[in-house]
Structure 1
Amino acid sequence: MAQGQSPARRVAIAGVVGALYVVLSLAVAPIAFGPIQFRVGEALKPLVIKYPVVIPAFGVGTVIINLFSPFAGALELVFMPLVDVSGGVLCYLVARRIGGALGTYLASLLYAVWTAAGVGVVLTVVAGLPYLIAFASVAVSEIILLLLGNALLVRRI
Structure 2
Amino acid sequence: MEKNTGSTRLLVVTAMIAALYAVMTTAIAPLAFGPIQLRISEVLVLLAFIDKRYIPGLILGCFIANLFSPFGLMDVFFGTTCTAAALWGITRSKTLFGASLWPVFFNAFIGVELYLLGECPLIFGMITVALGEFLAVSCIGYVVFRQVMKNPGLMARLKLA
Asked if TM exceeds 0.5, the reply is: yes
- Where structure 2 has 5 or more consecutive residues not aligned to the other structure, the ranges are 150-161
- 1:137 maps to which residue? 128
Q: Partner of 2:99 in structure 1?
A: 107
Return 58-67 or 31-40, whichever deviates more.
58-67
CA distance in 2, matches of 1:130, 1:58: 29
CA deviation string 1:19-46 (max 9, x = no partner): 1111111111122111011122111111
Which amino acid in 2 is paired with 1:113? F
| Distance of 1:24 and 1:104 partners within structure 2 | 22
Deviations for 1:50-102, whole angstroms, at most 9, x for unmatched residues? 121121222222221122211112x21222212211210111112xxx2xxxx
Normalised to the residue count of structure 1, the TM-score between the two structures is 0.83
| Corresponding residue SS for 2:123 | helix
8 Å CA contact 1:58, 1:81 repeated in 2: no
Q: What residue is the counterpart of 1:49 in the other structure? A: 49
Residue 61 of structure 2 corresponds to 61
Q: Rg bigger for which structure?
A: 2
Within 2, Cα distance between the matches of 1:47 and 1:23?
17
1:149 aligns with 2:108: no
Residue 34 (1) aligns with residue 26 (2): no
Q: Which residue of 2 aligns with 1:82?
A: 81
3-state secondary structure, aligned to 1:127: coil
1:8 and 1:154 map into 2 onto residues whose CA distance is: 29
Matches of 1:44 and 1:130 in 2, distance apart?
29
Give the secondary structure class of the aligned counterpart of 1:156: helix
Match of 1:116 among 108, 124, 144: 108
> Size of the alignment, in residue pairs?
144
Whole-angstrom distance in 2 between the partners of 1:8 and 1:90: 27
Deviation for aligned residue 1:112: 2.1
- Percent identical among aligned pairs is 28
Structure 1 unpaired stretches of 5+: none
Query: Offset of 1:154 from its aligned partner?
Result: 5.2
The 1-side partners of 2:147 and 2:116 are apart by 37
1:71 alignment partner in structure 2: 71
Q: Following the alignment from structure 1 to structure 2, what is the Cα–Cα distance between the partners of residues 151 and 17?
A: 20
Per-residue deviation, 1:151:
2.2
Normalising by structure 2, report the TM-score.
0.81
Tell me how far apart the structure 2 counterparts of residues 35 and 60 of structure 1 sit (CA, whole Å).
Answer: 23
1:76 maps to a residue whose letter is D
